[in-house]
Amino acid sequence: MTRLFPAFDPSRRHAALATTLLILAILLGGGGTPSPLPELWLELLAALAMLAWLWLPGPIRLPADPALWIVAGLALAVPAIQLVPLPPDVWQALPGREAQAAALALVGEKDSWRPLSMSPPRTLASLLSFIPPLTLMLMAGALQRHERHRLLGAILVMAVTSAVIGAFQLNAGGQAFRFYASSHPTLVGFQANRNATADVLLIGLLALAAFAAGKRSPREPHGGAAKGRDGWWQIGLALLLTLACVLTASRTGVALILPAAI
C-alpha cells in the first residue's frame, strides 16, 4: 500500500484518503434517484476507501468516540431491519398489507415470507446509500484535530467551486456546464437538485465559520493586518455562498441562510 501513496508522509495518508472520498462524494453523489449509476460508483469507491484505510501502514486508526459507532449502527439498522423476511402471519397483520396479500394469493404466494419493506429494492438502495456518509463520518472521527481542520477546508473549497460552476450554468443557459441530464434550470453546481445544492452551500457556510475559528491560534495577538485580510476573504466567501444559495431558488435553502449564519 505504501507504493500507492509515495508522496505522502505516513501521518498524512489517512487525511488524504478522507479528503479524496469527500471530493468524490460531492462530485458523484448529486444525481439522486434519476441518476443511480454515479451513486453506485460512489458507494463502491467508499467501500474500497474503507478497505484502503484499514490496510494503510501503521496502526489502524478508528474513532474512539462510541457515539459515532452508535449513530452508524442505528442508521444502518433502520433499512436493514426492514429487509429481514417475516413469517406470513406477521407481515399480513401489518396495516396496509391487504392488497399485497390478495395479489400474492392469486399466484399462490400468500404464505411466503416477506420483509417489512413494501419495496425491498428501494430499501436496499437506501441501505447502500449510507456507505459513503457513514464511511466519511468514521474517517473524520479517527482524524486528529488539525486533519479535521483541513477536511473543513476541502468542504469549503468544494462549496465555493459549486457556486462558481453554478454561475457558469446560469450564464450559459440550457444544459451547459450541468452534470446531469435531469436537473433544475437554476444554479445547481455539482448537483441535479436545487435543494441539494442549497444544502451543499449552507454546509459550506458552516465549514467556513468552523475553518476560520480553527485557524485562529490562542497565542496569536488580536488584531493586525493579517487578521484583517483573513476577515475580508471570509466575508467575501460568505457573501458568495449566500448569493449562490439564493440563486438556487430553493425556498428551504433561502430560509435556512439566517440560521446557518447565526
16: how many CB neighbours lie within 10 A of its CB? 16
- Which pLDDT tens digit goes with each residue over 152-197? 999 999 999 999 999 999 998 877 888 887 778 899 999 988 999 9
Whether the per-residue pLDDT at 130 is higher than 50: the answer is yes
Query: Which pLDDT score, from 0 to 100, does residue 114 have?
Result: 94
Whether the per-residue pLDDT at 2 is higher than 50: the answer is no
Residue 224 or residue 125, greater confidence: 125
Q: How confident is the model at residue 231 (pLDDT cuts 50, 70, 90)?
A: confident
Burial 192-218 (b: 16+ CB within 10 A, else e): bbbebbbbbbbbbbbbbbbbbeeeeee
Place of cell 441562510: 257
Name residue 71's amino acid: V
Closest CA to 250 of 156, 204, 185: 185
How many percent of the chain have pLDDT more than 70? Answer: 91
Q: How confident is the model at residue 220 (pLDDT cuts 50, 70, 90)?
A: low
Name residue 248's amino acid: T
All cell numbers assigned to 62: 478508528
Query: Which pLDDT score, from 0 to 100, does residue 146 have?
Result: 92
CB 165 within 8 A of CB 155: no
CB 177 within 8 A of CB 169: yes
CA dist 105 → 94, 101, 136, 178 (Å): 16, 6, 45, 47
- Which pLDDT tens digit goes with each residue over 104-125? 999 988 889 999 999 999 999 9
Cα–Cα distance measured from residue 132 to residue 49, given in angstroms and rounded to the nearest whole number? 9
pTM for this predicted structure? 0.85
Query: Which pLDDT score, from 0 to 100, does residue 214 have?
Result: 82
